[in-house]
Amino acid sequence: MGAPFLPFLRTQGGRRLLPALLALLPLLAACASTDPDAGRTWQPADESSWATTARALAADLGATLVAEPGTRTLVIEGRGGRILFLDGTRMVTVDGQRLEASTTLQFGDGDVALANEDAVRISQAWKEAVSRREARERALAAAAAPAPPSRAPPRGDAVGDPEWNVPLKREWEGILIHHSATEGGNLAKFDKFHREVNGWLMVGYDFIICNGDGGPDGLVQTSERWTTQIQGAHAGKGLKRYNDHWVGICLVGDFSRERPTAKQMASLRRLVRYLQDRCGIPDANVRTHRDVRDTDCPGKHFPLGEVLRAGAGPRGAEALRSGAGLRASPRGK
């Protein structure tokens, strides 16, 4: 209080106001503070120590967190596809892209805690997946729908392994070729992974062709999807027609780094020709996974042209039927 106020405080009115003025002093002092941190909430200096949860991350991404029944997985689903978390591991996949968490994932109450650095990486991968999907949708919308290629009549005398020759219960329109993006593997390993991690009924492909790491080089393994003629699970979410009416063939290996083996290619050509003859599939409908979805599968070193060239014309067909690829073992064992 300044000197001019002292005479006023000595009056009866001033004495009545004095308690109220004294009560205001702490507030006035706080307003006059020059401390830049006054009133601020404390936050740790090391942002890497911040944490979030998969549920909170899903909300930030405008997506939904769901649990896969009967599995050890949590899944975020939305515009960018799927984010999959596997309990007790560090494995996280974002629209098919594998990431490794900085700590082991531990589920609890239908959620999982995430380190801030992991949440940032997952969010970035999700945004990239959304951008890829949107770009592909725009390209597909802008392109005129091509006329469907004419189909040859199915043939009952196509030559192939005994396990391939099952009664056809679907109208098979085409063939999609994939790679496993792994160094090795076989039908049994992929079947286990698709059941336990993806929560699927069985392996997603109709056929597997081994590369010597997990099975003999060139061995064709036939899955129950083909022998029972049920729909596949290899094209991707939202591509129902390709899952339902296109045969899925997976070659073991990572063809973003190297080519398939010669025996794998020989077996693939023989299998493709058999399916074309048996199901009346034209060359135009023998495609790779990346032809129908925004993915690198089956890798930049996969030579699709060699499959089509070798399968063209009567001489090519005969060469394929007597190819050097291995025949299938019973039930892909």
Query: For residue 306, which amino acid is it?
Result: E
Residue 227: phi, psi to the nearest 5?
-65, -30
The pLDDT value recorded for residue 316 is 39
- The Cα 288–Cα 196 span in angstroms is 26
Residue that the structure tokens 């693939």 belong to: 268
| pLDDT over 60 (residue 182) | yes
CATH 3.40.80.10 fits 162-332, yes or no: yes
Q: Which sequence spans correspond to the domains of the chain?
A: 49-140, 162-332
- pLDDT confidence band for 210 (50 / 70 / 90): very high
- The Cα 203–Cα 226 span in angstroms is 11
**Selection from 120, 230, 217 nearest residue 168 by Cα:** 230
Element (H, E) at 274: helix 262-279
Higher pLDDT, 322 or 159: 159
Cα-only R_g, the chain: 32
Q: What's the gap between Cα 212 and its chain centre? A: 26
The pLDDT value recorded for residue 324 is 37
* pTM, to two decimals: 0.52
Structural contact between residues 243 and 233, judged by C-beta atoms closer than 8 angstroms: yes
The pLDDT value recorded for residue 71 is 77
- Read off the pLDDT of residues 24-81 as tens digits, 9 standing for 90 and up: 666 665 555 444 444 333 233 343 444 689 999 999 999 999 887 777 888 999 988 8
Structural contact between residues 226 and 241, judged by C-beta atoms closer than 8 angstroms: no
What's the mean pLDDT when you consider all of the chain? 80
- pLDDT confidence band for 102 (50 / 70 / 90): very high
Residue 59: phi, psi to the nearest 5?
-65, -40
Residues 6+ apart with CB under 8 A from 70: 199
Residue 175 structure tokens? 């063939």
- pLDDT confidence band for 198 (50 / 70 / 90): confident
CATH 3.30.457.10 fits 49-140, yes or no: yes
Residue 98: phi, psi to the nearest 5?
-85, 130
- Read off the pLDDT of residues 234-264 as tens digits, 9 standing for 90 and up: 998 889 999 999 999 999 999 999 999 999 9
| pLDDT over 70 (residue 5) | no
Query: For residue 66, which amino acid is it?
Result: V
- The Cα 249–Cα 332 span in angstroms is 13
Structural contact between residues 233 and 195, judged by C-beta atoms closer than 8 angstroms: no
Specify burial of residue 211 (Cβ count, 10 A radius: 0-12, 13-18, 19+): buried
Residue that the structure tokens 């080089």 belong to: 217
Asked whether the domain spanning 162-332 has the same topology as the one spanning 49-140, the reply is no
SS3 14: helix
Query: For residue 322, which amino acid is it?
Result: S
Structural contact between residues 274 and 231, judged by C-beta atoms closer than 8 angstroms: no
The pLDDT value recorded for residue 156 is 52
- The Cα 305–Cα 38 span in angstroms is 70
Burial 260-284 (b: 16+ CB within 10 A, else e): bbebbbbbbbbbbbbbbbbbbbeee
Burial 22-37 (b: 16+ CB within 10 A, else e): eeeeeeeeeeeeeeee
Residue 299 structure tokens? 């890798």
- pLDDT confidence band for 4 (50 / 70 / 90): low
Q: Which DSSP letter does residue 157 get?
A: T
- The Cα 236–Cα 101 span in angstroms is 24
- The Cα 124–Cα 234 span in angstroms is 25
